[in-house]
Amino acid sequence: MIAQTGKGSINMVNNSKMHGGNIKAAAKEYDLQLEEIIDFSANINFLGPPSVVEEEIKASLDQIIHYPEPEAKTLCNELADYFGIQSRNVIVGNGEVELIYLISKVIQPSHALVLAPTFSEYEAAVESVGGKIELFKLSRYNNFKIDMKSLFSKLEESDIDLLFLCNPNNPTGDLITKSELLKLVEVAKNEETFVVLDEAFLDFLMNESEYTLISEAVQQENLLVLRSMTKFFAVPGLRIGYGIGNANLISKLESSKDPWNVNLFAQQVGVKVLKEDTYITKTKGTIKQEKEFLYQQLNQLKGLNPYRPTVNYILIDISDTEYNSQQLKSLLASKGILVRDCSTYHLLGKDFIRVAVKNREDNQKLIKELKLLLDLGGQ
């Protein structure tokens, strides 16, 4: 697909479906056992799922002879209670990605704006319904921070009908303030642009209430907030995502989705984990502590330039080392450590890797192996 990237210029869009977390493929490629692998490539809560997950799956086994609730109403009700909204404002998906494709199907954008770099599925979803992509390029010389004034101007000057925005952005970690987001939604409304705000990692923040637009989404006609339970509760195999918006929009999304899209175990587990207050509090505090530790350790290694993290992953500029991202990924993988090669992201090329924040022992192993490789590369 061809993407418009500025007046008079076009780039070929990279639609590679490469994501982190494919440990089976890595085990086969590098001749490793699954238990030997430490996976820094997927941004999943390193605490693992709360114990109630296993308990609920075992308790629900005898229910697999029945269909799940077609619209996951019980889970919608629990999510609504959790956020202090109405269940009519909530839709649950088979992972957040399903909802990214679903909103594209409903909006049918002719011209969508997507950050570069950011999560690749926004672009792929728009392409799947025949829409044209325009990339809003972020600059490495500005640490990939979003120039909100320029973004406002872009919406005002162009015929954009759909904007995807990830807060914090993946993989850069850049975090947009609530006041800026509210201004953005206002500008977008005036320009008849629909905004999809992806808050997949926002729940890792201690002060997420200062950034989320969940309460505002139920009132806005041009806003859908997306969230993921996969990452925070460490259940990527169950696929649980949800969206929050005004009642009319949610009704349209429900009527356009596949029936029985969320399986029984995902629905049951989703209901239970929302009540795990101790786990939620522990996760937020532990991630805050370990992300700072890992960032400080990475920052001391020769040739690495990590971006200060806001949530549970860190983007690292490796352009001052002797390695490119593919080389460093392969060398670490041979030691049983998987990192995310960011060369499939727009504008990052082979100069960046991304690592998830993990427990202290695993973080120290990563630092040790990186130090050995960087010292060797400098010889």
Q: Tell me the CATH number at 92.
A: 3.40.640.10
**Count of other CB atoms within 10 angstroms of residue 63:** 12
Within this chain, do residues 102 and 191 fall inside the same structural domain, yes or no?
A: yes
Check if the beta carbon of residue 11 is closer than 8 Å to that of residue 137.
no
| Cα dist from 32 to 24, 27, 35, 140, whole Å | 9, 5, 8, 35
Please give the pLDDT value at position 19.
Answer: 76
How far apart are the C-alpha atoms of 119 and 143, rounded to whole Å? 17
Beta pairing partners, 115: 136
Residues of the domain holding 147 = 51-276
Within this chain, do residues 263 and 114 fall inside the same structural domain, yes or no?
A: yes
Please give the pLDDT value at position 158.
Answer: 95
Q: How many residues does the chain have?
A: 379
Within this chain, do residues 246 and 173 fall inside the same structural domain, yes or no?
A: yes
Please give the pLDDT value at position 22.
Answer: 78
Please give the pLDDT value at position 340.
Answer: 97
Within this chain, do residues 284 and 369 fall inside the same structural domain, yes or no?
A: yes
| Amino acid letter, 330 | S
**Phi, psi dihedrals of residue 52, rounded to the nearest 5°:** -65, -20
Pairing of strands 38-39, 111-116: unpaired
Check if the beta carbon of residue 340 is closer than 8 Å to that of residue 170.
no
Q: What is the DSSP annotation of 119-186? A: -THHHHHHHHTTPEEEEEE--GGGTT---HHHHHHHHHHS---EEEEESS-TTT-----HHHHHHHHH
Residue where a domain terminates, one of 276, 294, 317: 276
Please give the pLDDT value at position 96.
Answer: 98
Within this chain, do residues 359 and 272 fall inside the same structural domain, yes or no?
A: no
* Counted domains in the chain: 2
Q: What distance lies between CA 40 and its chain's CA centroid? A: 15
**Count of other CB atoms within 10 angstroms of residue 376:** 11
Please give the pLDDT value at position 109.
Answer: 98
Within this chain, do residues 139 and 27 fall inside the same structural domain, yes or no?
A: no
Residue where a domain terminates, one of 217, 242, 276: 276
Within this chain, do residues 189 and 309 fall inside the same structural domain, yes or no?
A: no
Within this chain, do residues 356 and 209 fall inside the same structural domain, yes or no?
A: no
Within this chain, do residues 142 and 183 fall inside the same structural domain, yes or no?
A: yes
Ordered mean pLDDT values, 10 residues apiece, the chain (379 residues): 34 49 81 89 97 97 96 98 98 98 98 98 98 97 96 97 98 97 98 98 97 98 98 97 98 96 98 98 98 98 97 98 97 96 97 98 98 82
Q: What is the distance in angstroms between the CA of the first residue and the CA of the last residue of the chain? A: 43
Within this chain, do residues 184 and 81 fall inside the same structural domain, yes or no?
A: yes
CATH number for the domain including 286?
3.90.1150.10
How far apart are the C-alpha atoms of 184 and 195, rounded to whole Å? 9
Helix (H) or strand (E) holding 363, with range, is helix 360-377
Residue where a domain terminates, one of 252, 276, 300: 276
Q: What is the DSSP annotation of 233-293? A: TT-TTT--EEEE--HHHHHHHHHHSPTT-S-HHHHHHHHHHTT-HHHHHHHHHHHHHHHHH
Within this chain, do residues 249 and 282 fall inside the same structural domain, yes or no?
A: no
pTM metric for this prediction: 0.93
Within this chain, do residues 41 and 73 fall inside the same structural domain, yes or no?
A: no
How far apart are the C-alpha atoms of 203 and 5, rounded to whole Å? 32
Please give the pLDDT value at position 16.
Answer: 43
Beta strands in 144-288 (DSSP E): 162-166, 194-198, 223-228, 241-244
Please give the pLDDT value at position 365.
Answer: 98
| Sign of CA pseudo-dihedral 145, 148, 150, 155 | positive
DSSP state, 319? T
Please give the pLDDT value at position 156.
Answer: 97
